[in-house]
Amino acid sequence: MLENVVLTRRHYVPWRLRVRNFTGGIASGLVIAFAILVAAGVSPGAIVNEFIVQVFLNSRGLAQTVTTATPLIMVGLGAAAALKLRFWNIGVGGQVWLGALGSTWIAINDIGPPEMRLPLMLAVSVVAGSAWIAIPVFFKLRYGVNEIIMTLLLEYIAFRLVQHLVFGPWQDPNTSFPVSEHLDSIERLGRLGWGNAHSGIWIALGAGVLMWLLMERSRFGYYAEAIGLNPVTAKGTGLPVTLTIVLAVLLSGGLAGLAGGTIVAGAEYRLTQFLGQGYTFSAIVIAFIARFRPIPIVITAFVIAGIFTAGETLKVFYSLSEAIVILIESVILFSVLVSEFFSSFRIRVLKTAPAK
């Protein structure tokens, strides 16, 4: 069986093929998801309505997708900045938490002049995210400590730290819920007047453009590329290996922190118990699907945000269980990842089977 099917690795992968396979992957994922939903008792017409019309063609759905995409773009860019240099930051969520924590700290303590409050909040979220990842980068470069374990565990620590604050010193005295006080209006990112979408999307898109310039046009990006692909060669040719790694990794933490800051200032208006959860997984998936390249990251983040939006509506309106929603999201992501295989390999069927 399959004896005359031959796999050959492609030497060049044309971008048209990559786009075709990416869309093909999403399409086949949607087909499988469709089957699962029909089996779960949702009528086919309703599925088409939810997935296509509500998410991408309906203004409200699109607004929700843009809102969800805002932090996803930033964490995707952040994850890619470190992963590209083979610094396995799998604690992106931890840096998101620290960013959220930093901006909340500025806001609830009313630090700085009111007109500078919002920029200061965002700046502190960047610094807080960078500081959180500075710990593993220091230990890795100085003592060779494994960054995978450190970034992962620091995410748990960050999560517990936030729980401590929202249940303790930062808990809103006006409620018994584990949330901080509401932000003042000057501390909020402006709404676009379109669903919940806020001006954080401009920050995210701006970060995308800056990262594109930095990673694909600048000397820094060129060094990063060389170091990621072959660190031994990079060292031997005298590239500033350590400096480049440190800067890229701090940038990674900073972008994740900024995502946390914009969630607080743009979407939630306060620090909540779960606002930073799930970002590590999404960030890494987005970075890998987009092959660490900034523009594809922005596009992928929108697609994934769309899938999330559809999942939410299905959950609410068809009372599907959380498990089904996660299942269909996973099926779609899995299909996209598998489609990569067809970009990397050419499959040929030999006309004659090898001689027996």
Cα distances (Å, whole numbers) of residue 139 to 142, 148, 151, 246:
5, 12, 11, 12
What number of CA atoms fall less than 13 Å from residue 197's CA on the CB side? 18
By CB under 8 A, tell whether 1 contacts another protein: no
From 36-44, 113-121, 181-189, 211-219, give the range in contact with another protein by CB under 8 A: 211-219
Q: Which residues, in sequence order, are CB contacts of 62 under 8 Å at separation 6+?
A: 55, 56, 195
Give the shortest CB-212-to-another protein separation in angstroms: 12
What number of CA atoms fall less than 13 Å from residue 11's CA on the CB side? 0
From 35-43, 160-168, 203-211, 215-223, give the range in contact with another protein by CB under 8 A: 215-223
- In eight-state DSSP terms, residue 85 is T
Q: How many residues does the chain have?
A: 356
Of positions 1, 2, 232, 323, contacts another protein by CB under 8 A: 232
Of positions 219, 274, 295, 338, contacts another protein by CB under 8 A: 219
Query: Which of positions 6-45 make contact with another protein (CB under 8 A)?
Result: 8, 11-12
From 173-181, 198-206, 214-222, 261-269, give the range in contact with another protein by CB under 8 A: 214-222
Can you tell me whether residue 198 is helix, strand or coil? strand
Q: Which is nearer to another protein, 84 or 270 (CB)?
A: 84
Q: Which is nearer to another protein, 6 or 57 (CB)?
A: 6
Residue carrying the six token digits 């470069």: 141
Of positions 235, 274, 326, 341, contacts another protein by CB under 8 A: 235
Cα(309)–Cα(356) distance, rounded to whole angstroms? Answer: 55
Cα(17)–Cα(347) distance, rounded to whole angstroms? Answer: 14
Distance in Å from the first CA to the final CA of the chain: 14
By CB under 8 A, tell whether 354 contacts another protein: yes
Q: Is the dihedral of CA 349, 352, 355, 356 positive or negative?
A: positive
By CB under 8 A, tell whether 193 contacts another protein: no
Can you tell me whether residue 8 is helix, strand or coil? strand
Give the shortest CB-2-to-another protein separation in angstroms: 15
Of positions 139, 240, 273, 315, contacts another protein by CB under 8 A: 240
Q: Which is nearer to another protein, 8 or 176 (CB)?
A: 8
By CB under 8 A, tell whether 168 contacts another protein: no
Please report, as ranges, the residues that interact with another protein according to CB under 8 A: 8, 11-12, 217-220, 222-223, 225-226, 229-230, 232-240, 354-356
